[in-house]
Amino acid sequence: MIKKSLHLREDHLSKPQKQLEILSNGIFKDGSLPTFKHKISNRQDHPLRANKLEILQLNLGYMCNQVCEHCHVDAGPDRKEIMSKDTMLQCLDVIKKTGVHTLDLTGGAPEMNPNFRWFVEEASKLGIADFIVRSNLTIIKANKKYHDLPLFFKEHNIHVVSSMPHWTKGKTDKQRGDGVFQKSIEALQELNEIGYGMPGSSLKLDLVYNPSGAFLPGDQTALEIEFKRNLITDFQINFHNLFAITNLPISRFLDYLLVSDNYEDYMYTLVDAFNPAALANVMCTNTLSVSWDGWLYDCDFNQMLELKVNSKLKHINDFNEEVLWNRDIVISQHCYGCTAGAGSSCQGSVI
Amino acid sequence: MSKTYYNTEDLRKFKNITDWSEELGEKFFEYYGSVFKEGALTAREKSLIALAVSHVVKCPYCIDAYTKDGLQKGITKEEMMEAVHVGAAIESGATLVHGVQMMNKYEKLSM
């Protein structure tokens, strides 16, 4: 298992420019596979344009207590990029000014941001319909100061979304690190105890499934049935929905694809599975992703590739919903990850 | 690169068989797609059967395809290996049950 981020190892793939070069050269340059732009160029969805802003996703920082093999953020304990309170205040202003119905906090481990609780308290006063925190579960068990997080989430009616690559220990620990499975199980049981994820409960607990390897997620509904059956039987754990998310070929997952000699096959798989119905529902058309330092992106993946929004304003300092509306979405070959099969978004399948 | 009879890239070209016989090719793929749909058996059960049969007919393309399909469906390696053993047991059983024919013939020819 990888113990260090690409950033800490000073690996060439820690540079977004290098990743974009790989995604544009080779099989895409020699014409073996069409570029994403070419693939969608004769469709009515081209160019992809931003519609009304509905989901605001804030990356509170790249620091994380885990170093998962597939992480597209290249997060880890060594990452020091953390959103400041000033930027958080600007985000609160944006929430007030816009009609976003979903606020989605991610990271890294967003809970490791020192102003996380203050921000949640302030944001929860604004009456957002769906307030998501992407919690990796183990953070709850990582340190005494995080042990009361489940109650804090409950107090603010937070919708908890957590990663769980499999219902077995072996696959989970391989992807996310030794001991992660056991801690995740304990955290899920604690969340269940206070009502999260229980049938009929308004305290929403959803799980995210990322394939642990160079293959696409299977049918989301079928996987959800398997997860539920196994987690109930083995651990008496309940949850609401499973979001099946495709791994996009960037950062540490791209590194894995290249090192394991799976890159070309994986890209063929993504391109062969291109689904126009998924293209019509990609998340970037109603989402805005804000980085720890306030830059604006069409999605969290573009953030990691440093592909800022295609607009004359690119920073939260200058936020203006009207100017950002109808902007062209910035695309590259990684976008095939969101249009393969049943599609993929931070909320799982899109069709 | 050494030339072999089996090339992994050829699996991607499977659909090209339709180029030389459109009607039969399309009928086959339509049939194939229908077979693997969720029915009285789940898609998961069908995937495991396909994996076992892939080994019995010793088709490297099929083994690649249904190992990947199993991973996509969340099938564990223990389940996959048990399925392969089911195929192997039937195949070896099919060999061994012919031992009865050998025994019959032996007895018939012997005084």
Q: Per-residue confidence at A177, pLDDT binned at 50, 70, 90?
A: confident
What is the token pair recorded at A279? 């293209």
In this prediction, residue A169 carries a pLDDT of: 87
pLDDT of A139 strictly over 70? yes
Domain annotation covers residue A345: no
CATH value at residue B47: 1.20.1290.10
pLDDT of B1 strictly over 90? no
Task: Return the residue of B nearest to A226 by Cα.
Answer: B74
DSSP string, chain B: ----S--GGGGGGGGGHHHH-HHHHHHHHHHHHHHTSSSSS-HHHHHHHHHHHHHHTT-HHHHHHHHHHHHHTT--HHHHHHHHHHHHHHHHHHHHHHHHHHHHHHHHH--
Domain annotation covers residue B50: yes
Number of domains in chain B: 1
Domain annotation covers residue A347: no
Domain annotation covers residue A126: yes
Domain annotation covers residue B100: yes
Contact criterion met (CB < 8 Å) for B68 and A211: no
Whether a cis peptide bond, with omega within 30° of 0, leads into A107 is no
Contacts of B43 in chain A (CB under 8 A): 219, 222
Chain A residues 188-227 with a CB less than 8 Å from chain B: 211, 213, 215-219, 222-223, 226-227
Distance from CA of A220 to the nearest CA of B (A): 9
Whether a cis peptide bond, with omega within 30° of 0, leads into A47 is yes
What is the token pair recorded at A36? 């994403």
Contacts of A268 in chain B (CB under 8 A): 12
Q: Is B81 on the interface with A (CB under 8 A)?
A: no
d(CA A138, CA A198): 20
Q: Is B43 on the interface with A (CB under 8 A)?
A: yes
Q: Is B64 on the interface with A (CB under 8 A)?
A: no
Comparing CB atoms, the residue among B12, B69, B72 nearest residue A268 is: B12
Comparing CB atoms, the residue among A216, A223, A268 nearest residue B74 is: A223
User: CB neighbours of A97 closer than 8 A, spacing ≥ 6?
Assistant: A319, A321
Domain annotation covers residue B88: yes
Domain annotation covers residue A291: yes
Comparing CB atoms, the residue among A215, A222, A272 nearest residue B44 is: A222
Could you report the per-residue pLDDT of A83-136, keeping only the tens digit for each? 999 999 999 999 999 989 999 999 999 999 999 999 999 999 999 999 999 999
Contact criterion met (CB < 8 Å) for B43 and A226: no
Distance from CA of B89 to the nearest CA of A (A): 27
In this prediction, residue A42 carries a pLDDT of: 86
Distance from CA of A271 to the nearest CA of B (A): 12
Q: Is B74 on the interface with A (CB under 8 A)?
A: yes
Domain annotation covers residue B3: no
Contact criterion met (CB < 8 Å) for B72 and A268: no
Kindly state the average pLDDT of the residues A184-208: 97
Write down the residue that tokens 């890294």 correspond to. A108
Number of domains in chain A: 1
- The ipTM, to two decimals, is 0.81
Could you report the per-residue pLDDT of A230-288, keeping only the tens digit for each? 999 999 999 999 999 999 999 999 999 999 999 999 999 999 999 999 999 999 999 99
Quick one: what percent of chain A has pLDDT higher than 90?
Answer: 91
pLDDT of A1 strictly over 70? no
Q: Per-residue confidence at A194, pLDDT binned at 50, 70, 90?
A: very high
Q: Per-residue confidence at B25, pLDDT binned at 50, 70, 90?
A: very high
Domain annotation covers residue B39: yes
Beta strands in chain A (DSSP E): 55-59, 102-106, 130-134, 159-163, 205-209, 242-244, 287-290, 296-297
Q: Is A168 on the interface with B (CB under 8 A)?
A: yes
d(CA A123, CA B80): 47
Task: Return the residue of B nearest to A210 by Cα.
Answer: B72
Round the average pLDDT of chain A to a whole number and report it: 95
CB-CB contact of A137 with A192 (8 Å)? no
CATH value at residue A45: 3.20.20
Chain A residues 299-328 with a CB less than 8 Å from chain B: none
Phi, psi angle pair for A181, to nearest 5°: -60, -50
- Note down the domain range covering B57: 13-109
In this prediction, residue B2 carries a pLDDT of: 66
Task: Return the residue of B nearest to A216 by Cα.
Answer: B72
Kindly state the average pLDDT of the residues A302-309: 98
Task: Return the residue of A nearest to B74 by Cα.
Answer: A223
Residues in chain B: 111
Domain annotation covers residue B2: no
In this prediction, residue A43 carries a pLDDT of: 86
Q: Is A166 on the interface with B (CB under 8 A)?
A: yes
Domain annotation covers residue B25: yes
Q: Is B44 on the interface with A (CB under 8 A)?
A: yes
Contacts of A222 in chain B (CB under 8 A): 42-44, 73
Contact criterion met (CB < 8 Å) for B73 and A218: yes
Domain annotation covers residue A212: yes
- Note down the domain range covering A291: 12-339
Contacts of A166 in chain B (CB under 8 A): 74
d(CA A256, CA A69): 8
Q: Is B1 on the interface with A (CB under 8 A)?
A: no
Residues in chain A: 351
CB-CB contact of A95 with A128 (8 Å)? yes
How many CA within 13 A on the CB side of residue A253?
25
In this prediction, residue A99 carries a pLDDT of: 83
